[in-house]
Structure 1
Amino acid sequence: MKKMKYLVLLGLLSLGLTSCDDLFEYHPNQIRLESHERDLTAKNLARLLQQQPGDTLRILVMGDTQRFYDDAVDFVKHANTFENIDFVIHQGDISDFGLTQEHKWVHDIMEHLEWPYLTVVGNHDLLANGSKVYQQMYGPLNYSFSYGHTKFVFVDTNSREYGFNGQVPDIGWLSKELYQREDEDFAQAIVVSHVPPHDGDFDRSLEDAYQNVLETSKKVKLSLFGHIHNFHTGHIYDNGIVYHGTTTVKKRGYTYLKVWADGFDIKRIDY
């Protein structure tokens, strides 16, 4: 009789655990995403490409949200006061530890933007099994698209997270994206990364090749980056290309970028 009671109790406990399965995070590195949280890059690109670009593109650039959720909420509120923004760029370090829940929390905030948002992967996003989380939630680590007169190239430059193996950033892929093919028509290209090429987290053995690809393409006048948690705008190399870094939301700042066929304007915004 006691044995029978034990089996019944065990069965009830099993049923209870099964029915509550979705209520518990069994391991911090576990990847659990709802369908609406998957393939966000493709979904936001589809939304963006349904829009009609004007002669001047208007883009908000922000990043390094990490665990600064309240500041990210305030960014979204401030960003939504603008009119006629084409899209928002998140410069990476969506998360702090590469955890699924961190990515989900930030997306829960960013999805309240009035416009599509696109991300580049940051070094913190690659911690733990963050690479798998990012690729399932957003998409490829390297991708590009053309919008109006400009091609945007998003590239993984987080060399340190790969042990400086000489393969990140992928110079071959970057070169193919920046040299205009017969089936492409763009006036200029903007390269978007997290770690800039002059930073210690960028593979020194690839620095010359990276900036040489940007220069010899004759298409790049501007390269955007995050990572440094400060604003910085300047010519890092003697090649005419402007490198612009956007600060972290923790410091309550972002960039308002206007782009036209043969130029751009950068404005720093505090909120």
Structure 2
Amino acid sequence: MFQDVTKRESYLLSILVILGLLTFTTACTPMRASPFSDKVETNLSNSNGSTIALLQERLSHMSYDEKPLRIALLADSHSNYRDLEQAVHLLNKQPIDFTIHLGDMTELGLAVEYEGVLSMLGQLRHPWLTVIGNHDAVGNGKYIFKKIFGEYNQSFVVQGYRFILFNNNTLEFQNEGIQFNWLEKEIANSTEPVILFQHADPFNKHNFNTANIKQIERILLLPKLKAVFHGHLHKFSQTTFGTAHIQEVHRTEEVSYALVELNKNSMTTHLCHGASCEKNVVDISESVAF
């Protein structure tokens, strides 16, 4: 009898939690059929593609000698929206060419979460791009992401570097698959040094099987690949594989972000908590043909 009462109380509590979530996610937003739908209150479409075109128009004519390229990196802002807002405020005070979010903007891939993040990142005074994270791909999240930002994988050249935005979330894309062959060809055929941005760390054993890791190692050894930036593990860390510098970016908790400055032969990273930053200079001149 006691167990039956406990079960009923547990079910009631679960229902109350779900009702509370629905109330919270719909209280300050336009009415929608369900917070779990893929209907998003935004006019943005193919935002990454449009931003890339804008960056190429603004920056492609620039050379290394005229000015370095300055990029800000954010990661894993899910459940850290107040810190994200403060990070945006700090980034707006600095001379940045563009920002890249390394994924996990949302916790559950909900339309209302995407709308909230768009509102916050929309306050940036410079262009911004994003890759998809595993949390962003939950439920209808991957379809919402594609509606707003366009293709999951994109490659573009700005100021003498090739930048690649890559989806490497294998568990959430088991049906679609991950385009490792596309990535390998894109880097191998590049005439520019390559900087890769993705969500998960390259050797994540929860994400990748043995065959994946063998191909990833082959990709990381390609001489044109100079750096890989990722989030997912929620801390700052760095390593190298071959000549590639692999940099993990801290989640936005504690108002964390990274700043990257690219010159002809070197890359400088500033790993920041608020206004306090640690500087690191990386030589990327080896095997780069200019």
TM-score (norm 2): 0.78
1:223 aligns with 2:232: no
Aligned to 1:233: 238
Aligned to 1:75: 87
**Residue type at the aligned position of 1:207:** I
Aligned to 2:215: 209
Aligned to 1:243: 246
Aligned to 1:90: 101
Q: Percentage identity across aligned positions?
A: 24
**Residue type at the aligned position of 1:265:** T
Cα drift, residue 248 of structure 1: 0.7
Equivalenced residues, count: 240
TM-score (norm 1): 0.83
Aligned to 2:38: 31
1:260 aligns with 2:263: yes
1:48 aligns with 2:55: yes
Task: Give the 5 Å matches for 1:101-180.
Answer: 101-163=112-174, 167-168=177-178, 170-180=179-189
- Where do 4+ consecutive residues of structure 1 move more than 3 Å? none
Cα drift, residue 34 of structure 1: 4.7
Q: Aligned to 2:116, what secondary structure does the other structure show?
A: helix
Unaligned runs of 5+ in 1: 1-21
CA–CA distance in 1 between the matches of 2:30 and 2:114?
A: 18
Cα drift, residue 31 of structure 1: 2.2
Contact residue 158 and residue 201 of structure 1 kept, 8 A: no
Contact residue 227 and residue 247 of structure 2 kept, 8 A: yes
Aligned CA-pair RMSD: 1.8
| More deviation, 128-137/196-205 | 196-205
User: Do the aligned partners of residues 23 and 107 (structure 1) sit closer, same or farther apart at CA in structure 2, a change above 3 Å counting?
Assistant: closer
Contact residue 99 and residue 126 of structure 2 kept, 8 A: yes
Q: Aligned to 2:48, what secondary structure does the other structure show?
A: helix
CA–CA distance in 2 between the matches of 1:215 and 1:172?
A: 15
1:64 aligns with 2:76: yes
CA–CA distance in 2 between the matches of 1:43 and 1:64?
A: 23
Cα drift, residue 86 of structure 1: 1.1
CA offsets per residue over residues 43-93 of structure 1, 9 Å max, x none? 22222222134412110011111132211110110001102x111010000
Cα drift, residue 152 of structure 1: 0.7
CA offsets per residue over residues 166-200 of structure 1, 9 Å max, x none? 932x121101211236xxx42x1011110012223
Contact residue 46 and residue 151 of structure 2 kept, 8 A: no
Cα drift, residue 252 of structure 1: 1.7
Unaligned runs of 5+ in 2: 1-28, 275-290
**Residue type at the aligned position of 1:255:** A
Cα drift, residue 127 of structure 1: 0.4
Match 1:197 to one of 178, 195, 202? 202
